[in-house]
Amino acid sequence: MVITAAGTALPDPSAPASVVDLAGRAARGALDRAQVSASSIGVLINVGVYREHNTFEPAMSALVQKEVGINLDYIADPEPAAGFSFDLMNGACGVLNAVQVGQALLETGSTERLLITAADVHPGGDADRDTAYPYADLGGALLLERSADPRAGFGPVRHYTADRPTDVEGYLDTGTMGRHGRTTITVRREAGHAERLSEFAAHAAADYAREIGIDLDRTLVIGPAAAAAAAADSTGAEAEAGAGGEPHTAAPVLGYLRALDSVRREDHEQLLFVSVGAGPSAACALYRPEGW
């Protein structure tokens, strides 16, 4: 299973940020790059966590599917098909969870093309106005297909859990939200959590490399740091809380696009996606682009 195209989207400064808008624009950008129609997408998996007004029903995936225009009428559509979409929420590891599901769907022939969308926005509609909120309003999308090249595509996805309590979590504090529950969110991150997560991600990557048998010296790792650097490149700001915010569920998409722009193929044989977040949990997946 290979990444045919990827896309990202930033908020429109003239309107409140919306996960449906961001995911939809990122998805349409990926489809445009691949030169395929929305009606050719059989399955859409949405993995975003934070959303405007703390909306949880209906499934955001259905709203994103409508925004992108994926098989809205499976009888009248030029390419008749029944489009299917669902939400899959696992924080920063959501994209790689969706990749694992996508591998099964494509392998069994359940669909020919699969779209993963990831978008987060502050529930109040503007992350920049809440300096205590650490994440960026940002959307990303990956278009996946089966490849005829047996060496290309994703390897197995593996998940790792740290043997200690989580030191980062986001939740709706019902005891203090009052009448502002639709526009507020509480994100708790203990001091030093970034260093601990980075260390855990490094251990997960090393364990994955030993299990799968890959040479990390010939592998470009796409982790949280790569995504943060890509965010800084795209916004012209430091990728820190209070200055644009950190990428969250869309981080693997940002990191992948940055890697394609900067990597020299003769220096690396493959890419290694590494995501880490609350739990603490991590996910790793090997990836070889077509033609490498």
pLDDT digits (tens, 9 = 90+) for 121-147: 998 878 888 888 889 999 999 999 999
Cis peptide before 78 (omega within 30 of 0): no
Measured between alpha carbons, how far is residue 125 from residues 54, 79, 120, 183 in Å? 10, 36, 10, 8
Please give the pLDDT value at position 186: 81
Per-residue pLDDT, 111: 86
Identify the pLDDT of residue 82. Answer: 64
Query: Would the pLDDT of 229 be above 60?
Result: no
Tell me, what's the pLDDT at 152? 93
* Domain architecture of the chain: domains with CATH: 2-288 (3.40.47.10)
Task: Output the pLDDT for position 244.
Answer: 59
* Report field, pTM of the whole predicted structure over 0.85: yes
- What's the rounded Cα separation, in Å, for the pair 134 and 268? 32
> Residue 8: what residue type?
T
What are the b/e assignments for 94-108, b being 16+ CB within 10 Å? bbbbbbbbbbebbee
CA pair distance 230, 248, nearest whole angstrom: 13
Mean pLDDT of the chain: 86
Q: Which of 121, 11, 112 is nearest to 71 (CA)?
A: 112
What's the pLDDT score for residue 80?
58
